[in-house]
Amino acid sequence: MRTITIGINDAGQRLDKFLMKLLPDMPKSLLYKLIRKKDIRCNGTRCKGTEILQKDDVLTLYIKDEFFKSETSHTFFRASGKIRVIYEDSDILIVYKPKGMYAHGGNDRHAVSLIAEIQKYLFDKGEYQPDLEQTFSPALCNRIDRNTEGLVIAAKNAQALRTMNEAIRDRKVDKSYLAVTSAPLPKKLDTCTAWLKKESGQNMVEIRVKCPDKNWQKICTRYHVLAQNGRYQLVHIDLLTGRTHQIRAHLAYLGAPLLGDPKYGAKHRSNEENQCLCAYMLRFTGFSNTALSHLDGKEIRCELPDFAGKYFPNTKL
């Protein structure tokens, strides 16, 4: 038998969803069987699994130890905890992910991810105590490609994570990017629509100007050329839709692939090792009646990325 007291970060979710996180190796059929057999109780009484957990609820679990996660060292301890913080409050962090770093664990099991660095940073500050948490850990609300740099949002607590994820789904967080293209775009300012489809078996997408069938997704990209240096252009980009590789593939389709992009810019070889793309600005709107109301109307931006300064040294944002 095990007894678990629900903390603030586990409150507000359904009992069965909480148990699935707590016991990831347990088959769902067995979990619901244990609930029916009264082997799982909430505050000493029989439960159905649909109950919404409240802070200080006490769960009694008559479950074999083999289904509980063994106590292991936390992987984030390998991280340095040194991150570039752009904004921080009691609920969220906005940090600058450098190019070449995975947002989460990637194919390289020895690489330290951004979320590991964030968790170590918060652990060192005393704001994250993993041994006191049942299922929650600080998490990213958005992600960017390994070779894209720029702003990433992380939530410090479960309520902030739920609120921010919902806001992003409802498009209350506007994201702007800076890019250097390897060839000029057709216009100085334009809003372009097209259709995108991920190629099966490949980590690439295809763009068409007309929708071939129902398997294609509509995309919309707005760009504004800020400066030009020979064939290179510094471009501000607003994503009006957010699809896989949308910026990279759409700009390439328009004849202006990102400088340094190995997938979509193969015809425009350069000495750049990484694609020149930075998520440099976030705008928060419609947050006034949420748990993150203090963010409403805020605009968070970073400094001009190094690759932009390299090709456009006199440009100021």
Residue 314 is predicted with a pLDDT of 83
Residue-wise pLDDT tens digits, 172-185? 999 999 999 999 99
Q: What's the topology of domain 177-280?
A: Pseudouridine synthase (3.30.2350)
Q: Name the class of domain 75-170.
A: alpha beta
pLDDT of residue 56 exceeding 80: yes
Residue 266 is predicted with a pLDDT of 64
Closest CA to 270 of 225, 304, 230: 230
Residue 158 is predicted with a pLDDT of 93
Please tell me which residue, 52 or 314, carries the higher pLDDT value: 52
Lowest mean pLDDT among 30-44, 63-77, 209-223: 63-77
Q: Considering the chain, what percentage of its residues have pLDDT values greater than 70?
A: 95
Give me the residue label for tokens 């390439």: 252
Please tell me which residue, 44 or 72, carries the higher pLDDT value: 44
Residue 230: CB partners within 8 Å, gap ≥ 6?
none
Q: For the chain, where do the domains classified as CATH 3.30.2350.10 start and end?
A: 75-170, 177-280
CATH number of this structure's domain 2-67: 3.10.290.10
pLDDT band at 75 (very low <50, low <70, confident <90, very high): confident
Helix H segments across 82-223? 114-124, 158-169
Residue 20 is predicted with a pLDDT of 92
pLDDT of residue 71 exceeding 60: no
pLDDT band at 74 (very low <50, low <70, confident <90, very high): confident
Over residues 65-74, the mean pLDDT reads 69
As given in the structure block, the two tokens for residue 61 are 């679990």
Over residues 302-314, the mean pLDDT reads 92
Kindly list the distances between the CA atom of residue 253 and the CA atoms of 153, 164, 243, in Å, as whole numbers in the listed order.
Answer: 29, 32, 15
Residue 303 is predicted with a pLDDT of 92
Residue 107 is predicted with a pLDDT of 60
Over residues 14-33, the mean pLDDT reads 92
H-helix or E-strand spanning residue 246: helix 246-253
Over residues 141-153, the mean pLDDT reads 93
Amino acid identity for residue 238 in this structure:
D
The SS3 assignment for 290 reads coil
Residue 58: CB partners within 8 Å, gap ≥ 6?
3, 4, 5, 6, 42, 43, 44
Q: For the chain, where do the domains classified as CATH 3.10.290.10 start and end?
A: 2-67
Q: How far apart are CA 59 and CA 41, in angstroms?
A: 6
Lowest mean pLDDT among 99-108, 140-149, 255-264, 291-300: 99-108
pLDDT of residue 106 exceeding 90: no
Over residues 215-232, the mean pLDDT reads 95
Residue 66 is predicted with a pLDDT of 81
pLDDT band at 116 (very low <50, low <70, confident <90, very high): very high
pLDDT of residue 308 exceeding 80: yes
What is the sign of the dihedral through the CA atoms of 316, 149, 281 and 296?
negative
Over residues 202-231, the mean pLDDT reads 92
Output the average pLDDT for the chain.
Answer: 91
Residue-wise pLDDT tens digits, 250-304? 999 999 999 999 888 866 566 677 799 999 999 999 999 999 999 999 999 999 9
Report pTM. 0.87
As given in the structure block, the two tokens for residue 153 are 């949002």
Q: Considering the chain, what percentage of its residues have pLDDT values greater than 90?
A: 74
Residue 6 is predicted with a pLDDT of 93
